[in-house]
Amino acid sequence: MIIYVVIILVPFLFVLFSSLKANNTEIALHPFGLPKTWVFENYKEAWVKAKISVYFFNSLYLAASAAVVGVLMAAATAFAMARMKLTRISKWIYQLVLVGMLIPGNVLFIAQYFLVRDLHILDTHWALFLPYTAGALPFSVLLLVAFMHNIPHELEEAATIDGMGAIRMFWKIILPLTIPALVTVFIVNFLGNWNEYLLANFFISRDALRTLPTGMVGFRDAFQTNYALVCTGIVFSVLPVLLLYSFLQRQIIEGLTAGSVKG
């Protein structure tokens, strides 16, 4: 495992050290060495002059908002299927949701393009928000249903005796107990939205609306002779992912292993 971790870290350390070096010559001669002079101005130049800040915040609020809405919609759907007494209907809905996981996202690209065009939201962030939210629902519902099946039914019975309806029970009891799975679903959806390139490349043409993956392509072309700035942009794109995993790794594991052990 230590060897595996080292193999994973080597490319990241190369990018990190290169982003703080003065020029291409230093990067070529000492690719894995520490910078002779730590040039933190590279980050300022990339953030302000190269408009990485615009692409970064576009990706951040799109990925986060779509993930939050997707989690809430998936949680409500999973609650109806796993906890409410809709046996026949819930089974059919569950099978329909599973069918959504069998269809590759790229197969739907042309249909999504025509739909976005007909809705007149092409070249707006709505063109990405709606597909991001809908595309994440099948996996999210599957994971949350498995987690909610493990919540004791006695809690619902006690809440019903106290006069709670389905909506209050969902918000006050089920949702707080499902936090580990919700965090896992949020992170998986966030990372998928953060790294998505195909839809963002074809649905968004205005530079001010571009997300980080598509913005980095133009950034790379504009600064292809300055590898330090290119590496700086890569660090900005990787940093949120590392922070999420660093602070929420326990919740991710708990959510992914939900329902794996019975009894």
Q: Which domain holds residue 181?
A: 51-256
List the CATH number of the domain containing 79. Answer: 1.10.3720.10
| pLDDT confidence of residue 256 | 63
Residue 128 lies inside a defined structural domain of this protein: yes
Q: Are residues 183 and 138 in the same domain?
A: yes
Q: Are residues 25 and 153 in the same domain?
A: no
Q: Are residues 153 and 35 in the same domain?
A: no
Mean pLDDT (whole number) for 77-96: 76
| pLDDT confidence of residue 262 | 46
Q: Are residues 79 and 141 in the same domain?
A: yes
Residue 88 lies inside a defined structural domain of this protein: yes
Which has more pLDDT, 148 or 66?
Answer: 66
Share of the chain above pLDDT 90, in %: 21
Q: Are residues 151 and 124 in the same domain?
A: yes
In whole angstroms, give the CA distance from residue 149 to residue 83. 7
| Of residues 12, 33, 13, the one with CA closest to residue 22 | 33
| pLDDT confidence of residue 87 | 59
From residue 234, alpha-carbon distances to 12, 19, 186 in Å are 9, 9, 23
| pLDDT confidence of residue 132 | 94
pLDDT tens-digit readout, 131-185: 999 988 988 998 888 888 888 878 877 878 878 878 888 888 888 888 888 988 9
| pLDDT confidence of residue 85 | 65
Whole-structure pTM value: 0.83
